Structure 1
Amino acid sequence: MQWLKSLIFVIYIYLFMAVWGIVCFPLLLHPKGARWVCNVYAGHVIWLARVMLGIRSEVRGPVPTDEVVIAAKHQSFLDIMIIYRAVPAAKFIMKRELIYTPFIGQYAWRLGCVPVNRGKRGQAIAKMIADVKKGAAQPGQLVIYSQGTRVAPGDYKPYKIGTAAIYRETGMPCVPAATNVGLLWPRKGILRKPGVAVVEFLDPIPPGVEKAEFMARLEKTVEAKSNALMKELGFDAESHLVESAKRSV
């Protein structure tokens, strides 16, 4: 039954995205209109996940409201929705391909999101920084996923130096963000499981920290807190990672 409800939920939220995006298309004329449209959509998805699937969303820690870089753990579509609803003016650094996606691309562009071509790392970072500076006139919270993609619970991907470059060039504090949402709403597949999906904002890293120290501090903080949040749902991410490493030897 949960799988069937999950299937209906997944179909519905994408159909609703299309219908809502078309109905509200005139609001793209102004960034505030686009932000309202996306805010309603994110709130609807979070509400429906709770009443239909038993997934309750929870935000912990001080929510950043000033201009900051939010370096977040990314496990599924749900953590995007939770962060977007939590902060006043989220702008995401996103894969360039998404800018051409119907509805998502048009609204993301109007919100001031920054598309990045990940093909060539050096050029991508330089272009990312230039785009961030160009968009500096539109204030908000710049959200970057430091591992560059969704990472399943218990898997490991290194943190990319683009986060340190953005942190250095903007001169803004960096707020790490941890999550456990991937245990309930996976990055692949249909089944969504009931439980408490958490995004937790952690203590800010002030401007001016040297690159190597910044990256080490960011990764240690986000991974430790994400593992603790996943353990609340009964999943030992550290043991899973050790076992995976043993199997790969």
Structure 2
Amino acid sequence: MKVGPIQWIRSLLFVAQMYIMMPIIGLIFFPYALVSKQGAFAACKTYCIWVRWTARWMVGLRTEVRGTPPTGEVLIAAKHQSFLDIMMIFASVPRGKFIMKREIMWTPVIGQYAMRLECVAVDRGKRGVAIKKMLADAKANRDAAGQLIIYAQGTRVAPGAKRPYKVGAAALYTQMEQPCVPVATNVGLFWPRTGIWRKPGLAVVEFLPVIEPGLDQDSFMAELEETVETASDALMREAGFDPDGVDETTPKT
């Protein structure tokens, strides 16, 4: 899809106001967040609503959540393409908390609110040590029931790119004995991993049928990858993109 200079200017303005509003909303809700964790959730959800609303009229990017977002204590294993799917997933569940890179905890505003939400920080490096720490932290925070969100490939993956699924999701699934809700998306077609461009169209996050507890690690990994990749490919084709490497049509607006 070709994006002209006017769309680039609109994208630049959108990105600028998005980052300006982050500390503003954070500061407005800060006293409430200090005395109540509900204040931290309210702040983050307000920011998600703001970004999705401004994306619609500033750059023509609409968002849609499909499927049934979980409300109970579950593991959510999602496809990750950009910052947009983070906001869409979080806004859709009542008490989401992320497995996230430890360095994000040092990011202004985001880091402080992530700690208040009891997100689980993971050090990158030796896989075995990182997984043990992630499991220990997740179990330690389990008293605060909610939806634990992990990105199954461990990082943002561009549409059409292939990345292996990490064992961390399977470790959480088997050790915590929770249902897992897979999540597919096509948001990277319109909101890329990096850069200023934001393209008009319909960005979708889809909550898929639950994978019940009880599978062994290999069976779970195979089912999760097949489910998420198949659904994500279908969403991308719906938007006019061939995930095997060729654009079929212009993404639909």
| TM-score where L is the length of structure 2 | 0.93
Q: CA deviation at 1:184?
A: 0.3
> For each residue in 1:81-110, what CA deviation from the matched residue of structure 2 results, as whole angstroms up to 9, or x when unmatched?
111111111111000000111100010111
Q: CA deviation at 1:182?
A: 0.1
Greater helix fraction, Structure 1 or Structure 2: 1
For residue 237 of structure 1, give the secondary structure of its aligned residue in structure 2: coil
The partner residue of 1:50 within 31, 56, 77 is 56
Taking the aligned partners of 1:80 and 1:239, their CA distance within structure 2 comes to 25
Taking the aligned partners of 2:244 and 2:218, their CA distance within structure 1 comes to 23
Aligned residue in 1 for 2:222: 216
Seq. identity, %: 59
Q: How do residues 90-129 of structure 1 correspond to structure 2 at under 5 angstroms? A: 90-129=96-135
Taking the aligned partners of 2:158 and 2:67, their CA distance within structure 1 comes to 23
The partner residue of 1:131 within 133, 137, 160 is 137
Taking the aligned partners of 1:18 and 1:49, their CA distance within structure 2 comes to 18
Taking the aligned partners of 1:27 and 1:165, their CA distance within structure 2 comes to 35
Matched, 1:67 2:73: yes
The partner residue of 2:152 within 146, 159, 168 is 146
| TM-score where L is the length of structure 1 | 0.95
For residue 136 of structure 1, give the secondary structure of its aligned residue in structure 2: coil
> For each residue in 1:55-95, what CA deviation from the matched residue of structure 2 results, as whole angstroms up to 9, or x when unmatched?
11101111111111000000000001111111111111000
The partner residue of 2:26 within 16, 21, 25 is 21
Taking the aligned partners of 2:205 and 2:190, their CA distance within structure 1 comes to 13
Structure 2 alignment gaps of length 5 or more: 1-5, 247-253
Taking the aligned partners of 1:41 and 1:220, their CA distance within structure 2 comes to 32
For residue 27 of structure 1, give the secondary structure of its aligned residue in structure 2: helix
Q: How do residues 73-88 of structure 1 correspond to structure 2 at under 5 angstroms? A: 73-88=79-94
Taking the aligned partners of 1:192 and 1:145, their CA distance within structure 2 comes to 22
Q: CA deviation at 1:53?
A: 1.1
Matched, 1:35 2:41: yes
For residue 142 of structure 2, give the secondary structure of its aligned residue in structure 1: helix
Q: CA deviation at 1:152?
A: 0.4
The residue type equivalent to 1:9 in the other structure is F
Number of residue pairs matched? Answer: 240
Q: How do residues 231-242 of structure 1 correspond to structure 2 at under 5 angstroms? A: 231-240=237-246
> For each residue in 1:167-207, what CA deviation from the matched residue of structure 2 results, as whole angstroms up to 9, or x when unmatched?
11111100000000000000111111111100001111100
For residue 231 of structure 2, give the secondary structure of its aligned residue in structure 1: helix
Give the root-mean-square deviation of aligned CA atoms: 0.9
Structure 1 alignment gaps of length 5 or more: 241-249
Q: CA deviation at 1:24?
A: 2.2
